Amino acid sequence: MGGFFQVAWAVAGRQIYKYFTNPAFLAPALFPLFFFVAFAGGLTRVGDVPGFDYAAGYIAFQYVWALLQAVSMGGAFTGFSIAGDFENGFARRLMLAASNRYGIILGYTIASLVRATMTGALVTVIALVTGIPISGGFDLFGLIGLAVLVNIAATLFGAGVAMLLRTQQAGPLIRTPIFLVLFLAPVFVPLNLLTGWIETVARLNPFTPILTAARGFLAGDPTDVATAFAISAALVVALALWAVYGLRRAEKAG
């Protein structure tokens, strides 16, 4: 067990060092920030649509989506880093040296959490500057908890794909499904205002209850909390198995 944590800390330490010595480590925050500015700035009047009943207002409504997008993209970018490590040969040497290879997955996940903390903080600072009201009190810890679980799930998904394909060309296969899951949720208006095919898809999308609960936390009106945490935890478990499968395929490939 000691080997598991030793490997995890070593991998995490290297990744975190790489992040802080490369200004591009904030790149996962760029698209969420841009969407936040574009949607919160340009679509504020959508909050006036009859039936739009989010108490914290439209900017806060968009902030939660941007925050969860930032932490998800942090996970995706960690997947890109893993793929890069396989391409440049580092990951193969790491797998030869590691006494417990499962620690590699934990290490990348810890590093991803550090990155997501930075990108999430950046999005939050911008949102505070634009004047989002914080009315959730201690409920905000619920929002942070969900963001952490979303980041872990996205990281494990990206790690699984990266270890399975072991090439940076896997980038679109990591990024596109995450983008689709994020966009096929109630991005612009609450679920009750969606109609047609997007409503059906959003209702089936496991990210929707997570987003709804996260918005509830920010507004100080927690909604479907147990469902959101249960889905997040289930996603983490399922995607951890996916990452382990990717690791085993990488081991077999040598």
Partner 1 sequence: MSGSSFLTQVWALARRSIVRTMRQPAVIVSALLFPMMFFSINASGLDAASRIPGFPTDSYLDFAFAFPLVQASLFGAITAGSDLARDIESGFFDRLSLTPMRPVALLGGMLAGVVALGLLQGVVFLAVGLLMGVNVSSGIPGMFVLVVLTVLVALGFGGIGAILAIRTGSVEAVESAFPLFFVSIFLSSINLPRNLIEADWFRFVATINPISYLVEGIRSLVITGWDAQALFLGFGCAIAIMVLAIGGAAASLRTRVA
Between 95 and 191, CB nearer to partner 1:
191
Assess 29 for contact with partner 1 (CB under 8 A).
Answer: no
Binding residue for partner 1, selected from 139, 183, 227, 229, defined by CB under 8 A: 183
Between 36 and 242, CB nearer to partner 1:
36
Between 187 and 239, CB nearer to partner 1:
187
Contacts by 96-101, CB closer than 8 A, 24 or more apart: 98/3, 98/7, 99/3, 99/6, 99/7, 100/3, 100/4, 100/6, 100/7, 101/7, 101/247, 101/251
* Least CB distance to partner 1 at residue 41 (A): 4
Q: What is the 3-state secondary structure (H, E, C) of the chain?
A: CHHHHHHHHHHHHHHHHHHHCCHHHHHHHHHHHHHHHHHHHHCHHHHHCCCCCCCCCHHHHHHHHHHHHHHHHHHHHHHHHHHHHHHCCHHHHHHHHCCCCHHHHHHHHHHHHHHHHHHHHHHHHHHHHCCCCCCCHHHHHHHHHHHHHHHHHHHHHHHHHHHHHCCHHHHHHHHHHHHHHHHCCCCCCCHHHCCHHHHHHHHHCCHHHHHHHHHHHHHCCCCCHHHHHHHHHHHHHHHHHHHHHHHHHHHHHC
Binding residue for partner 1, selected from 10, 26, 30, 114, defined by CB under 8 A: 30
* Least CB distance to partner 1 at residue 62 (A): 12
Binding residue for partner 1, selected from 162, 189, 218, 240, defined by CB under 8 A: 189
Assess 187 for contact with partner 1 (CB under 8 A).
Answer: yes
Assess 31 for contact with partner 1 (CB under 8 A).
Answer: yes
Assess 44 for contact with partner 1 (CB under 8 A).
Answer: yes
Binding residue for partner 1, selected from 19, 35, 65, 77, defined by CB under 8 A: 35
The Cα 48–Cα 61 span in angstroms is 13
Between 96 and 204, CB nearer to partner 1:
204
Stretch that binds partner 1, among 6-14, 45-53, 141-149, 213-221 (CB under 8 A): 45-53
Assess 197 for contact with partner 1 (CB under 8 A).
Answer: yes
* Least CB distance to partner 1 at residue 196 (A): 5
Binding residue for partner 1, selected from 184, 227, 229, 244, defined by CB under 8 A: 184
Assess 46 for contact with partner 1 (CB under 8 A).
Answer: yes
Q: Which residues contact partner 1 (rule: CB under 8 A)?
A: 30-31, 34-35, 37-39, 41-46, 48-52, 183-184, 186-189, 193-198
